[in-house]
Chain A
Amino acid sequence: MSRSGRWILCAYLVYLVLPLYWLFSMAISSNADIVGEFNAFPAAPTLANFAEIFSNPVWYQAFGNSLTYVFINTLISLAVAIPAAYAFSRYRFLGDKQLFFWLLTNRMAPPAVFLLPFFQLYSAIGLFDTPLAVALAHCLFTVPLSVWILEGFFSGVPTELDEMAQLDGHSFGYFFLRVFLPINRGAIGVTLFFCFMFSWVELLLARTLSGAEAKPIVVVMTRTVSASGLDWGVLAAAGVLTVLPGVLVVWFVRKDLVKGFALGRVS
């Protein structure tokens, strides 16, 4: 590949890493060092900020809350999206194209539009301030996205596979659970990554649908900024911790990642 391309890539990676470096550098500095004299490298590295987070229940419970709703959301999304994606990829049926388009429109709906009705809906059925409410609300964009990605992957699996299983006398259930899903492990991994990605990073709905009990980590962080003012070190440490789950997930799906980013449509 061309030389200039390499340079652009390198320059971009530096641009990408610098803010992350700064976040990390602040996370291991004391607040006095941060607001004191400017240092490009941490003057006296310390883990005190992380200790503060792990000893304060507000912080680690918020972490738990976030992981809970992301987990529930991913489960629901996969459970409903897998059969639907299979149906879309294998059959034509009344209104299939329209339905698929309509599903996509939900991915395009700005969360801010749904703010008010969600608030009232979940209050009315008593789910307000539970992780389940946030998980269901996030289904608004994770379910259409999951169907979309999975359909792309499933369409790439030859239908001969389905026919072979039938000829071998396997029931549909056996074929689907023991043959089809294992083959599509990668696709499911990528979908999981996307559900995680969009549910973990969202703030607006998560903030609106949670009160004191189910406060997610992203909300605790914004409140720390406005309330206690400026404990930059703890804020940065919390930021570093919210990056970690993403790194773990991306590590697990690294092989299928690129294919997934093309939403399964590049083969």
Chain B
Amino acid sequence: MADNSKPATRKAAIVGGNRIPFARSNTAYAQASNQDMLTATLDGLVARFGLQGEQVGEVVAGAVLKHARDFNLTRESVLGSTLAATTPAYDVQQACGTGLEAAVLVANKIALGQIESGIAGGVDTTSDAPLAVGDDLRRVLISLNNAKTVGDRLKALARIRPGQLVPEIPRNAEPRTGLAMGDHAAITAKEWEIGREEQDELAVRSHHAMAAAYERGFFDDLVTPYLGLARDNNLRPDSSAEKLATLKPVFGRGEGATMTAGNSTPLTDGASAVLLASDEWAAAKGLPVLAHLVDAQTAAVDYVHGGEGLLMAPAYAMPVMLARNGLTLQDFDFYEIHEAFASTVLSTMKAWEDPEFCKEKLGLDAPLGSIDRSKLNVNGSSLAAGHPFAATGGRIVASLAKMLHEAGPGKRGLISICAAGGQGVVAILES
């Protein structure tokens, strides 16, 4: 039997974070590229922690929607930032799990002593999206490029048809099922009998909690204004269940459809970054340690042929991570469950409460149980802030670390993020 226990390593500290306010697609950041936003976010983090001209161990970030020219997005952003040009960087991509996975990767290298400090981040734009030429036209253009004679070139050009000139716009859809993520989530919502009202209620809570957090200055040292925007422009402090009840469903079909633009996240632009380090590095720099990243786990489900919901993977990752750490689902002071859709949060929690699901699917003797809702997404989450795919993880890690720090030592926080492709990332932070 494999030894499933963790090797003796140090825990990576979360020093702090920075993000730009998130902006709904084609609004404040319509002109900004991923590199612009990531560079500005890194520079904000550098300014906050006095790292101008310094070399950190590694910068790890990514984008879900990425231009081919941005193959080295993170390194290019580092080179344009005020960090030392000798700071190594690499890109990762795990759909909406990118930001959290980047933090885990940085934390692991710190834990192993391979680096002393690192920055994890993510960025996405749905405004400055990478259009691609269709596959047919792409093939024609490649043959055109390879053509040696005028005749060959003309032959290649003759293969172009008007219909091929329409570019392919990236869609928030699963390549293997052709379904939009929201339509997948709607199937899961129906399976778990998640009602419209509870979804709207969760969305309203998210808006109110985040607005209140802004009001009391919680985000003052987490957010740097960008391109004239000082707060997430998806945030609706005056959101109410009555208003949300008037919206028509946009995902799912017929009578039972419950998912609206109000209880689903909109397409969003934004970027975030988190500074991680060894305790020693932070102490030497006189920087705070807000929390430590204790552990993380990924999981994936077969949503194509296996019958599991696209966004249910975190439900599977959670018991593995809890068991490894000897913890129960109730042993936490804060829960951050990414609100891709209100129904996703509710389905996931319902699954953990369900004896049959926990026995049949998770192989547990008893259900993981319920979560104290007053500890869930207490400063709002993606329904309020918006969800620039790869930037969400960094937003959550930095915010949760600060919440834990404010609550005092020995507090625990749990993160759960679902991702396209039927994947999920969960993590534990501790102050």
Instruction: Determine if chain A interacts with chain B.
Output: no
**A positions within 8 Å CB-CB of B:** none
**B positions within 8 Å CB-CB of A:** none
